[in-house]
């Protein structure tokens, strides 16, 4: 019993001492020390990479109820592996969807005063560039002015052996900006709209005499039926031409009506309409997502916003470029070197633009231009070489408007392109026609700015001075392209009006036939010439299925127009643009009327 109490006493004493030591260690009395062996690891670092899905370091604090016993440690070494968990290489995050960014501002000499939907559009000035941003054409084209199955709504087409039926197959999944899919019904509706009497489109008129009907066998097939061979019909609906091939949504157009559609037009292009100030500006914004014109699989357009501007004063355009108010301007040749010296990039569309003058309504009784001597006199009064040298700085040549050097493989001879400067012969012809100092020939000469040819007004002034030098009384008529175009269509330019005009150089026989027929055929709504002999040559060319015969007939057209002085052929010149240093690439292309703005929208394609 004594022994038991003794042991109990010793235990309690030891416990008390240990408790006191514990208390002292914690600010109270120290208890008696009890020897306890605890294993303390000595680390040997062995690095092993362990792949974990989510590496997270956590500091975990746990509250543990502790007995109030102080433990005297005696170290026993053991070896452990320290495992360093390697941070895993994270799986690559999904690549962020490409986004359109920035604001591109393009400033032209003129924007015209037309609407921005195909039926009413102005293809000259910046008109087709604007429309190309918003609409897709039925048959696409590439930068060389040839058909492409990658850039239009159609991905294939064919013609029947007799040349009377064209079958056009449409790609699926092309969406309008209101999220409805483009179908053959929309294509047919758009083709019929541009054939309406009030349509501003010119080229559709070459198809009208040959056309029989359109058909839509299914949602992705469109047929053009002609009652005679119409091998060139697909050109009318292609990107090589004007706006006739651009497609609008039938259901929406019919639901809101033409007037409301004109205020907020809808297309299927890489950009959608935002706003228009008629004749001054058009604003568009990028669609949400890729567009098929951006290459295989589609890509998003580069710029989030684009504003197209019209500013007639070149000094103002240059000031805007230098002050950062615009990014691209069209510019005259004499301004190119100083702008290049200032660090701006210069882009050319070489020999792209043709210029000439029309003798309006020359077939009318009493019109002075009905006399071939007057037409010849005005042609020989012009010093073309001097104008090319001093106004265009030699960057151009003479041409037989509306044919140009691009057509040298299509029957056109660039060497036979104009008339010599012969002011003495001009005075003699005017005298023979009954004009003299007391009875001078009096003309109305339209003067205005024309997009792409910044020197256009100065060219007109120089020509007017040449006319006056041979005794012609010139009354300059300041106007605007859209206004003059409307007057021309309304046949209100009789009585001595001379109209300077511009168009684009063309290469293919189909394009040559098209433009000449629009401008020179007796039945064309924009014609400036009526001659049954010339009509017969054109009709034969359009009916032919023999390429060599077509080229020979184009040659005959050239000879006829030169011999009859039907108008005033002038020049083919480079179209020049200056751009901010950030724009380093732009293939301006060879399509008619546009500057291949897709090369700016999708620069990675390197057209």
| 473-478 and 442-447 beta bridge pairing | parallel
| Predicted local confidence at residue 79, as pLDDT | 47
Instruction: List Cα–Cα distances, 8 to 4, 34, 35, 407, in angstroms.
Output: 6, 16, 18, 123
Alpha carbons 511 and 232: distance in angstroms, whole number: 9
Alpha carbons 164 and 223: distance in angstroms, whole number: 10
Q: What is the pLDDT of residues 558-591, one digit of tens each?
A: 999 999 999 999 999 988 999 999 999 999 988 7
Alpha carbons 486 and 388: distance in angstroms, whole number: 30
Instruction: List Cα–Cα distances, 351 to 230, 344, 394, 555, 590, in angstroms.
Output: 30, 22, 12, 21, 10
SS (H, E, C) 564-576: HCCEEEEEEEEEE
Please give the backbone phi and psi of residue 37, each rounded to the nearest 5 degrees, phi first: -90, 125
Alpha carbons 43 and 80: distance in angstroms, whole number: 6
Q: What is the pLDDT of residues 278-333, one digit of tens each?
A: 889 999 999 999 999 999 889 999 999 999 999 999 999 999 999 999 999 999 98
In the DSSP assignment, the letter for residue 118 is G
Task: Classify 264 as helix, strand or coil.
Answer: coil
Q: What is the pLDDT of residues 130-157, one digit of tens each?
A: 999 999 999 999 888 889 999 999 999 9
| Predicted local confidence at residue 607, as pLDDT | 57
Alpha carbons 268 and 248: distance in angstroms, whole number: 8
| Predicted local confidence at residue 55, as pLDDT | 43
Q: Which residue in 139, 144, 141 sits closest to 155, CA to CA?
A: 139
Instruction: List Cα–Cα distances, 455 to 393, 463, 464, 552, in angstroms.
Output: 11, 12, 14, 35
Q: Which residue in 560, 519, 515 sits closest to 536, CA to CA?
A: 560
**Tokens standing for 225?**
């039926």
Q: What is the pLDDT of residues 72-131, one digit of tens each?
A: 444 444 444 444 444 455 555 555 567 899 999 999 988 876 778 888 876 766 788 999
| Predicted local confidence at residue 178, as pLDDT | 97
Per-residue pLDDT, averaged over 25-32, amounts to 42
Map out the domains of the chain with their CATH numbers: 2-53+65-82 (no CATH), 103-327+580-605 (3.40.190.10), 353-573 (3.10.105.10)
Q: What is the pLDDT of residues 203-262, one digit of tens each?
A: 777 677 789 999 999 999 999 999 988 888 898 899 888 889 999 999 999 999 999 999
State pTM to two decimals: 0.73
SS3 content of the chain, % helix, strand, coil (to 5): 30, 25, 45
Q: Would you put residue 173 in left (φ > 0), alpha (ψ -120 to 50) or beta?
A: left
């Amino acid at each position: 019993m004594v022994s038991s109490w003794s042991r109990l006493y010793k235990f309690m004493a030891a416990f008390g001492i240990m408790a006191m030591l514990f208390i002292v260690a914690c600010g109270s009395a120290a208890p008696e020390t009890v020897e306890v062996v605890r294993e303390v690891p000595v680390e040997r670092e062995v690095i092993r990479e362990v792949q974990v899905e989510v590496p997270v370091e956590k500091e975990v604090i746990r509250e543990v109820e502790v007995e109030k016993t102080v433990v005297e440690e005696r170290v026993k070494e053991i070896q452990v592996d320290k495992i360093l968990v390697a941070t895993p290489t994270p799986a690559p995050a999904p690549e962020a969807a490409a986004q359109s960014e920035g604001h591109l501002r393009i400033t032209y000499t003129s924007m015209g005063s037309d609407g921005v939907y195909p039926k009413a559009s102005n293809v000259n000035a910046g008109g087709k560039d604007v429309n190309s941003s918003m609409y897709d054409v039925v048959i696409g084209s590439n930068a060389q002015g040839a058909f492409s199955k990658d850039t239009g709504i159609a991905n294939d087409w064919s013609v029947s052996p007799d040349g009377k039926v064209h079958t056009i197959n449409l790609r699926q999944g092309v969406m309008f900006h209101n999220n409805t899919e483009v179908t053959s019904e929309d294509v047919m509706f758009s083709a019929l709209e541009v054939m309406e009497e009030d349509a501003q489109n010119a080229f559709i008129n070459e198809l009208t005499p040959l056309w029989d009907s359109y058909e839509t066998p299914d949602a992705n097939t469109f047929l053009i039926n002609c009652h005679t061979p119409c091998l060139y019909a697909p050109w009318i609906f292609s990107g090589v031409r004007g706006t006739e091939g651009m497609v609008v949504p039938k259901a929406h157009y019919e639901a809101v009506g033409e007037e409301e559609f004109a205020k907020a037009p809808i297309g299927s292009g890489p950009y959608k309409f935002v706003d228009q100030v008629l004749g001054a500006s058009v604003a568009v914004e990028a669609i949400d997502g890729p567009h098929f014109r951006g290459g295989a699989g589609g890509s998003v357009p580069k710029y989030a916003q684009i504003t197209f501007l019209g500013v007639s004063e070149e000094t103002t355009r240059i000031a805007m470029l230098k002050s950062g108010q615009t990014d691209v301007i069209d510019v005259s040749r004499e301004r190119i070197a100083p702008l290049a010296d200032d660090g701006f990039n210069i882009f050319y569309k070489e020999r792209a633009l043709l210029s000439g003058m029309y003798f309006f309504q020359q077939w009318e009784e009493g019109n002075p231009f009905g006399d071939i001597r007057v037409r010849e006199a005005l042609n020989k009064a012009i010093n073309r070489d001097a104008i090319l040298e001093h106004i265009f700085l030699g960057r151009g040549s003479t041409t037989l408007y509306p044919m140009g050097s691009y057509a040298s493989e299509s029957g056109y001879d660039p060497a036979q392109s104009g008339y010599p400067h012969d002011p003495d012969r001009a005075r003699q012809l005017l005298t023979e026609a009954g004009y003299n100092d007391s009875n001078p020939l009096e003309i109305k000469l339209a003067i205005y700015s024309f997009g792409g040819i910044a020197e256009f007004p100065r060219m007109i002034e120089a020509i007017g001075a040449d006319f006056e030098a041979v005794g012609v009384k010139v009354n300059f008529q300041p106007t605007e392209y859209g206004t003059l175009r409307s007057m021309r269509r309304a046949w209100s330019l009789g009585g001595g009006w001379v109209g300077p005009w511009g168009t684009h150089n063309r290469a293919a026989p189909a394009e040559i036939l098209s433009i000449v027929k629009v401008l020179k055929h007796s039945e064309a709504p924009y014609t400036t010439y009526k001659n049954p002999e010339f009509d017969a040559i054109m009709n034969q060319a359009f009916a032919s299925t023999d390429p060599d015969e077509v080229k020979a007939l184009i040659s005959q057209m050239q000879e006829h127009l030169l011999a009859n002085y039907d108008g005033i052929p002038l020049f083919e010149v480079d179209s020049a643009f200056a751009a901010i240093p950030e724009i380093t690439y732009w293939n301006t292309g060879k399509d008619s009327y546009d500057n291949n703005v897709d090369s700016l929208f999708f620069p990675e394609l390197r057209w």
